[in-house]
Structure 1
Amino acid sequence: MVKSSLRAASEVAYEYVQILDVMVGQAPEYVSLAYGAVKILLVVQVNYEEMKQSVASYMEKIKTKFELIDHLTAYLPTDRLVGAMAKMYDFFNRFLAKALKFYTRSRTSK
Structure 2
Amino acid sequence: AAGGGGGGGAAAAAPEAGGAPPKAEGVGEDNSADKLLKKIRGVEKKLRQIGELRELQAGGKPLEKNQLDKISGEGEVRAELEALKLKHCEAEAKEQAAAKEGSWR
TM-score by length of 1: 0.40
In our comparison, the structure showing a higher alpha carbon Rg is 1
Q: Identify the structure with bigger relative contact order (alpha carbons < 8 Å, sequence gap 6+).
A: 2
